[in-house]
Structure 1
Amino acid sequence: MNNRCILQIVLLLCFPTTTLSLSYHLLRLQQSSSSLECQKLLQQLNGRPEDCLSDRMDFKIPKEIKHPQQLQKEHAAFVIYEMLQDIFVIFTRNFSNTGWNETIVKDLLVELHQQMDLLETILEKKLGEENKSWGNSRTILHLKSYYWRILRYLKAKQYSSCAWTVIRMELFQNFSFINRLMDHFQN
């Protein structure tokens, strides 16, 4: 009888872990696919980087983003969510000087919104209320400063075509960091 109870307890304890593991794996696959789609959309936006070399700038992405092993696994999801949200905000700014196809930008915004919705669901269901306070962490504040520098740069350059080309290249690289963070989140 005792062995039977122990077996049931063990199975009950393993089930949420297995479910969570499968959710992380599914999230990783969806996130990876979505990041690739966002990178493809960014590549479709015209702009010649070589014409804007003098406008390049180091926006100083936080080191925690470059080296995700410094983050706890659960917190990587918050960082990814913040990155997606800030990229979304950037692309809602004035890009009329770029000559970009508005449909591509809208598709990018839709893709970003879907990623954020998926992550928000995972954060709410899997990580619980206790981790929501992590959104005010030092890493998130560094990240907000990074994106603020990007927005300030765009405004200072009056949303010029070259400024947007520089930002497009910067944000393209962000999706590589997002994929690394997602790998860390899953492992």
Structure 2
Amino acid sequence: NRKGFGFPQQMVEGDQLQEAQAISVLHEMLQQSFTLFHTECFFAAWDTALLEQLCTGLQQQVDDLDACQGQVTGEEDSALGRMGPTLVLKRYFHGIHVYLKEKEYSDCTWEIIRVEM
């Protein structure tokens, strides 16, 4: 029972994003991915060493981006999280979390998510 989550590709690519917005979108994507893969339920479905390596890499990228985000973004950034591509990404990841919960975090469901991402 596979579900297409419809990653919002057109909303997060191209020349339409300003630099501050692009950094915000990338930060949201990395943070949401880290949160998703860092859940206890996921550790049962994947090789633990590989998952820890992935989560460490994601966290390092989030930390590095935090430093950039502070330099590039200004006061307008607070509004970016509530609208546009960042909000679309939040909805995308929320759909994944809901699907996982509905399917009781089964190994098969995690594999579908892994392929989707």
TM range (shorter): 0.7 to 0.9
Q: Could you list the runs of 5+ residues in structure 1 that have no partner in the other structure? A: 1-54, 172-187
Contact 1:97 1:159 in 2 (8 A): no
**2:82 paired residue number:** 136
Residue 56 of structure 1 deviates from its aligned partner by: 2.5
CA distance in 2, matches of 1:96, 1:107: 12
Instruction: Report the identity percentage.
Output: 37
In structure 2, stretches of 5+ residues that fail to align are none
Aligned to 1:95, which of 32, 42, 48? 42
Cα drift, residue 118 of structure 1: 0.7
Distance (whole Å) between structure 1 residues aligned to residue 115 and residue 78 of structure 2? 31
Q: Which has the larger radius of gyration?
A: 1
Partner of 2:11: 64
1:104 maps to a residue whose letter is L
| Higher deviation after alignment, 124-133 or 69-78 | 124-133
User: Which residue identity does 1:110 align to in structure 2?
Assistant: T
1:74 aligns with 2:10: no
Q: Do structure 1's residue 83 and structure 2's residue 34 form an aligned pair? A: no
Alignment partner of 2:38: what SS?
Answer: coil
Deviation per CA, 1:18-40: give whole Å up to 9, x if none: xxxxxxxxxxxxxxxxxxxxxxx
Q: Take 1:115 and 1:96, find their aligned partners in 2: how far apart are those partners?
A: 21
Counting only pairs closer than 5 Å after superposition, residues 1-187 of structure 1 correspond to structure 2 as 55-62=1-8, 63-65=10-12, 67-93=13-39, 94-98=41-45, 100-171=46-117
Deviations 1:31-85 (A, max 9, x none): xxxxxxxxxxxxxxxxxxxxxxxx33211222302x4333223311100000000
Higher helix share: 1
